Structure 1
């Protein structure tokens, strides 16, 4: 069974929990990622003489498992890792973490217990089962861990990771196309854990030749492991300081040049001149100027320019300050602009990165077309993000919009434009984006005349023209002409939303807005994807499973782009918002489903997995069915979908029985409450120590009671207890019968039924509900604005004055009645 993304992630984070307290996140990442690497290469390459990694005898993850309880487990784990490293030229890469460090892992039994728990977590993962084409779930898991390690490490240790969303933008705007050959080179002089290089390589149909350099020893080791986990073991990653000791050189001792470069260098490096005299740089990197000694931002940009071929293209993340700072940086910026090297600038939201909260930008370089450049394409994407804990994060729609606008050079109001070089020169080559793009929202101005005389300004109503083009009659329903340039409200503010939702124009709009989705469902036809027959379950042996060339990432790319295009001409709805609905559902649920289907075929829809907890531990998953005390989890089809399609009448009966039980419980509760209130409550003598009437205390009290009224009350409450118990029994019996029927129905499902349940009832029904919610949000925004305008001008000044006078008179009357008068 293919491992699910969510299952893998939770297991990996559980391994981190075992290490917390003994060390900082920036340290325990080395332990977790090393074990992930050992488990992966062991599952994938053990016994394979032609594998990318050779797993020698005695150097596999299985050998670690055999050490459980061994007093020398730490030292022996180090030796196992060392043997694998020695065999594969990975010394200094996978053996960075010391598994025998008593200061971090504890002494004696504490170390033994911690390490065997850690190994046990990874032992439960089968990483050999994921065989779908393009299945880099391990690489995704690595990215997941890097994000969390960066979050926990704080400002000082977060620089080893560039958020994957930002990496994705750089990879897509740098200029890699479907025609880019595999031997084209991509370079990152400050590659960190390698995520930028991998994202760029993924943009080429067959990948790229990867070159990188990273100064930090441990981080360069992470990058090497990352390359192997992403099946790019041929990538060349060097250790060392790129500025003072660049490793990549040509035959003449000059810097090697590359087709593409991507980078997220350390912001405002204050010691970049260490080990180098910029004025005598042997590589001539500072032809256009020498950056300030205490700020190395332009140092890396100039290094990248020198490292690009004459047709080379690059994308670099730098702090916003490089766009407008003066002195030496101003001269460098002017020279680069005059040379035409800067193709575009993308302003990003603040607080995206883990090393700093300041806003950054992406500078896109294109040497090939520099001589003919007449302007610089600028994007202000600073407003598009979501909150993610204490950081900001780009959404899928933000990434897509940036890439669409940049690659197509689309000019959008308050978002993007081509800025002529002459205009930039007129601003002394200052590239600060707000000088050229005003991204601020128009100010919501109050109308003094409307506050004084009443009415709603027509200019505010006209500002909603994009709504009135779709709902012309609704405007006439909500507003009528008043005095010149003003209108009056026809509907109370509290009734605006209901009036809009019930209007025929809105109902027509809602129906029309779903038609592109319905057409998309037919067009993409996910049921036609050859995931494999559902007639028999695949073998448990990975070697006997049929090979598959299904690529889940290619599937979501194809269908999401189609959905985006389907909504490109729908009024009021943003195609990017609809696209985000699909991408969110893909991340939450659909991706897991598709990976399972790609591996195990439609037959996986029949599968119920028995849940068994390890000794002394609780179940990590909530069971979907419990049959004879055995707990089961449905892999793809929740029982609720089978009930809705095949057992609707049985569920209706259970709902009826639940209503009867609720009524019985309510009757019992009400009777007890009525007869325990006050000191003379008839059931007070039946209260137990917890001040709660129970059937046992009632039965016991009934044997002792002599008062006729009390006996009647006790008999009544006992009867109500019996009625509630009987209702519970009947309901449980019906629920158990339904659960058993559903359990027996799973293996009877045929392929067509499985497809209907997964595609129609699960995926498409969820997406449709979310799109309907988005349609309603559009009208909610309109209704809120109309309501705001109506409430703002509902009481003009004369009306307020009259109200004040009336209230003052009433107060005066009351005061006079009390013998008081205003002076």
Structure 2
């Protein structure tokens, strides 16, 4: 983290904490992050107007002043149409960030202004039909009427003014002039997650865990080449998708990665849209959906007329879904092509394998999938055991080898809101080998005050071991299929990786010597005590 980024984020977090008062961190984030995003969109639009010579800017005139002067009257709609066609959204002159700041400084803000700004944004988001789904409603979770902002409309407007001014004071360029607003945004998401308790895990995967997943699914990729497609069926704030981009060779080139994700929680879905765009992802390169992944399939699903399913598949699938969630496992879902080949449905109270099968269904023939799950998926019986056996024997894959590539055990207490140990399951469809690599990384971590962390060395060891695919004493084992069959398809890691540390042998002669020495020291001490008592005149 650069000095500018570190000082900016520390200052911003401290001030945000002070401003939020009694509001829960998971809710207050909706205000801070939404206004940061609005500032970003407005600044991005100003850059477009300047860099593409859309405006005639006179000497001494700001871009905002030129925009307000020229995009006026009958010409306004032409400007908005042009901006929207290029950026996917458009902000009118009176609603830009600089115009908002000017009105606050001049005490011209009225309580309804914030709602008007967001309403205008939603209206203009419809100008570009292709991009409308990416921008419309993105600010709907900013509850402008929350009484915790203030007891009346004027007090609430003042609170919003303070948030806007706080964000306006952010230094968003580092020492080299690089834009770091996206990195600040990512940092704040992590901080809000850490302070939101159990709710934090619903929208954020710790970065070091994201790095492992991302490095695993990009291990076989030498360069981005054609657009690399990555999918997260429970995408939260989108951080995991962005980490895949960072780990992909050439992934940061514009258009090198196409992002796909689905998120059930609307607030979190909005967060993901903001997060990706704040990191420079164009609306053309992201397809996000707000719906239930385990219900009607996405992103394509069966044709409504013919009923035939033509699923979209991806180069990589990454996921950290809600652990052992409840889902509707109605037996009709056995007809669903995602679940049908495996002959069983995940239990109603444990949707873990439903997420596995959904994700696998959308993995292409040469891709890699990595998913974080609780350890129960490795050994629980009944329907889960049947699915596990089918995945390993690949009954559904006919002549192909085992789908399961690796099982990586992680330390406990890595995630927000739960202290349980987790594991990463890695799947591939094009495997000729039938063995499974087991890695037990559960004991290698940096202990934190409230949460354990993985160091860079911990992460490198996991990835190096995954890539080399060799036995490592007390850490990793490549298990042939027969060994897994002999264990009745139970994948519990201790069955394959022996981490038992023998205690050093006891030297009985040394123990006897120490006992004799102790007895001698005790006798000498007792003699000294008796002598002292005699000096004091006490009979002993």
Q: Whole-Å Cα distance in 2 between the matches of residues 86 and 221 of structure 1? A: 17
Question: Cα distance, 1:36 vs. partner?
Answer: 0.9
DSSP 3-state at the match of 1:35:
helix
Name which of 68, 71, 76 aligns with 2:113: 76
Once the two structures are superposed, residues 735-766 of structure 1 have per-residue CA deviations (whole angstroms, 9 ceiling, x without a partner) of xxxxxxxxxxxxxxxxxxxxxxxxxxxxxxxx
Q: Does 1:349 align with 2:349?
A: no
- The 5 A counterparts of 1:646-725 are none
Could you tell me how far 1:402 is from its partner in structure 2?
1.2
Q: Tell me the residue number matched to 1:801.
A: 519
Mapped contact 1:213–1:237 kept (Cα < 8 A): yes
> How far apart are the structure 2 equivalents of 1:87 and 1:336?
48
1:386 and 2:450 correspond: no
Give the superposition deviation at 1:66. 2.3
* RMSD over aligned Cα atoms: 2.6
2:163 aligns with one of 107, 111, 118:
118
Matched, 1:164 2:213: no
- What is the aligned partner in structure 2 of residue 521 from structure 1? none
Which deviates the most, 337-346 or 101-110? 101-110
**Preserved contact between residue 85 and residue 95 of structure 1 (Cα < 8 Å):** no
**Aligned-pair distance for 1:230?**
1.0
> What is the Cα deviation at residue 314 of structure 1?
0.3
Correspondence for 1:219 = 268
Q: Which residue is 1:301 aligned to? A: 356
Within 1, Cα distance between the matches of 2:423 and 2:474?
17
Q: Does 1:398 align with 2:469?
A: no
Instruction: Give the corresponding residue for 2:228.
Output: 184
1:58 lines up with 2:94 in the alignment = yes
Secondary structure of 1:388's aligned partner: coil
| Separation in structure 2 between the aligned mates of residue 419 and residue 300 of structure 1, nearest angstrom | 25
Name the CA distance, whole Å, in 1 between partners of 2:8 and 2:160.
19
Shift of 1:384: 1.9
SS in 2 for 1:311: strand
Aligned counterparts of 2:175 and 2:35: Cα–Cα separation in 1: 18
Aligned to 2:425: 363
Residue 196 (structure 1) aligns with: 240
Deviations 1:652-693 (A, max 9, x none): xxxxxxxxxxxxxxxxxxxxxxxxxxxxxxxxxxxxxxxxxx
Deviations 1:381-425 (A, max 9, x none): 112222333111112221122112212224322111211221111
Q: How many angstroms apart in 1 are the aligned matches of 2:99 and 2:443?
A: 52
Are 1:70 and 1:112, in contact at CA under 8 Å, matched by a contact in 2?
no
1:821 Cα deviation (Å)?
4.9
Post-superposition CA distance 1:6-47 (Å, at most 9, x none): 232134314522542342212111111111111222233315
For the residue of structure 2 that corresponds to 1:232, the secondary structure is coil
Cα deviations across residues 207-251 of structure 1 (Å, max 9, x unaligned)?
321111111111111111011011112211011001112231166
Structure 1: 5+ residue stretches without partners? 454-795
Q: Which residue of 2 aligns with 1:229?
A: 278
Instruction: Trace 1:521-532 onto structure 2 (pairs within 5 A).
Output: none
Deviations 1:39-92 (A, max 9, x none): 222233315246645443222211221232747544212322333343343121
Matches within 5 A, 1:24-103: 24-46=24-46, 48-49=48-49, 52=87, 54-68=90-104, 70=107, 73-88=110-125, 89=132, 90-103=135-148
- Specify which structure has the higher proportion of helix: 1
Q: Give the 3-state SS of the residue equivalent to 1:392 in structure 2.
A: coil
Structure-2 residue corresponding to 1:314: 369
Instruction: For 1:239 and 1:442, locate their aligned partners in 2 and report how far apart those are by CA, in whole Å.
Output: 52
- Structure 1 partner of 2:7: 7
CA contact (8 A) 2:26 2:199 kept: no
Shift of 1:272: 4.2
Whole-Å Cα distance in 2 between the matches of residues 37 and 403 of structure 1? 34
Query: Of 510, 521, 531, which residue of structure 2 is paired with 1:450?
Result: 510
Secondary structure at the aligned position of 1:368 is classed as coil
Cα pair distance change 1:231/1:807, threshold 3 Å? same
1:439 CA displacement: 2.7
Q: For the pair shown, which has the larger CA radius of gyration, 1 or 2?
A: 1
- Kindly tell me: are residues 3 and 110 of structure 1, through their superposed partners in 2, closer, same or farther at Cα, counting changes over 3 Å? farther
Contact (CA 8 Å) 1:201, 1:210: kept in 2 or not?
no
Residues 806 and 19 of structure 1, relative CA distance in 2, 3 Å threshold: closer
Q: In 1, are the aligned partners of 2:229 and 2:259 still within 8 Å (CA)?
A: yes
CA distance in 1, matches of 2:18, 2:522: 67
The CA deviation at 1:429 is: 1.1
Question: Structure 1 100/808 Cα, relative in aligned 2: closer, same or farther at 3 Å?
Answer: closer
Residues 104-115 of structure 1 aligned to structure 2 (within 5 Å): 104-115=149-160
Q: How does 1:402-481 map to 2 (within 5 A)?
A: 402-444=462-504, 446-453=506-513
C-alpha separation between the residues in 1 aligned to 2:47 and 2:522?
90
Asked if structure 2 preserves the Cα contact closer than 8 Å seen for 1:344 and 1:376, the reply is: yes
Flag the 1:279–1:285 CA change in 2: closer, same or farther, 3 A: closer
Q: Counterparts in 2 of 1:570-649, with a 5 A limit?
A: none
Gaps of 5+ in 2: 53-85, 126-131, 395-401
Pick closer, same or farther for the CA change 1:224–1:400 going to 2, 3 Å: same
Structure 2 distance, partners of 1:284, 1:273, is 10
Please report how far the alpha carbon of residue 320 of structure 1 lies from its aligned counterpart in structure 2 after TM superposition: 0.8
Q: 1:286 to 1:163 in 2, by over 3 A?
A: farther
- Corresponding position of 2:67: none
**SS of equivalent to 1:58:** helix
Relative distance call for 1:116 and 1:315 in structure 2 (3 A) is same
CA distance in 1, matches of 2:225, 2:270: 28
Aligned pairs for 1:770-789 (under 5 A) are none
- Structure 1 CA distance for aligned equivalents of residues 174 and 406 of structure 2: 44
Q: Using the alignment, how far apart are the partners of 2:34 and 2:453 within structure 1?
A: 28
2:436 to 365, 376, 379: 376
| Normalised TM-score (structure 2) | 0.81
Instruction: Specify the alignment match of 1:513 in structure 2.
Output: none
Q: C-alpha distance in 1, partners of 2:435/2:286?
A: 36
Matched-pair contact (CA < 8 Å) for 1:323–1:430: yes
CA distance in 1, matches of 2:332, 2:26: 33
Inter-partner Cα distance in structure 2 for 1:55 and 1:126: 23
